[in-house]
Amino acid sequence: MGGVVIGRDFSKFGEKVGSIFSFFSGFNFPTCWKEFDRGTMTLEEVAKELADLNNCSVEESTAAIMHVMELMQEISETGALVRELKEKGFGVYILSNMPKEFYAQIEKLDIIKVFDGAVISYRERLIKPDPRIFGLILDRYDLEPGESLFVDDKKKNVDTALGLGMAVVHFTSPAEGVAEIRKRCGLFSHSS
């Protein structure tokens, strides 16, 4: 979801939020954030850890977390493609590392209604790239790895999916990612 279908306008982070969340740009997530995704740490616990890591107050780190949540929005190019894939009869599913509070925010967006199902890390107490969470989505929705296209912005997650026999797209930008997904799914238009 994050970085593929849902994005954030980093220019709206501001200096303090950008500093606290600098790990977003390098994908070097601190352990506390991984545990937040896994559902084993609360927002309050993560805010405390981020405050300690960034030499700021818990109030500042909590406000930063809330601000980042509020900035989440659909990436228009991939949102349009997800809708097109659904209309063409493809099954579309979410496999995402995401904390409870962030997913609750995502559920307010219209794009979420398009998906046929979701496996979210905080619910399962597992995070990508653990192969077990990939196994969950395949089993839960009766998906065949060889008939599935996995899309992710993190190379290690793409590598796990590839190792499980799935076709993959390493999503590096909306323009390139959408073009590659369209190609893999046999969708051609004048804009591609």
What's the whole-number mean pLDDT along residues 63-75? 93
Rounded to a whole number of angstroms, the distance between the first and last alpha carbons of the chain is 22
pLDDT bin (cut points 50, 70, 90) of residue 90 is: very high
pLDDT of 76 higher than 50: yes
Residues 6+ apart with CB under 8 A from 113: none
pLDDT of 120 higher than 80: yes
pLDDT of 127 higher than 50: yes
Q: How far is 156 from 110, CA to CA, in rounded Å?
A: 29
Q: Are 158 and 152 in contact (CB under 8 A)?
A: yes
Number of residues that make up the chain: 192
3-state secondary structure the chain: CECCCEECCHHHCHHHHHHHCCHHHHCCCCHHHHHHHHCCCCHHHHHHHHHHHHCCCHHHHHHHHHHHHHCCEECHHHHHHHHHHHHCCCCCEEEECCCHHHHHHHCCCHHHHHCCEEEEHHHHCCCCCCHHHHHHHHHHCCCCHHHCEEEECCHHHHHHHHHCCCEEEECCCHHHHHHHHHHHHCCCCCCC
Domain boundaries, the chain: 6-70, 73-185
CA 69 to chain centre: 13
pLDDT bin (cut points 50, 70, 90) of residue 27 is: low
pLDDT of 190 higher than 50: no
Helices 43-54 and 58-70, packing angle to 10 deg: 120
pLDDT of 8 higher than 90: no
What's the whole-number mean pLDDT along residues 42-46? 97
- Output the CA angle 45-1-65, nearest 5 degrees: 30
pLDDT greater at residue 174 or residue 190: 174
Assigned fold of 73-185: Rossmann fold (3.40.50)
Average pLDDT, the chain: 93
Strands 117-120 and 93-96 come out as parallel
User: pTM above 0.75?
Assistant: yes
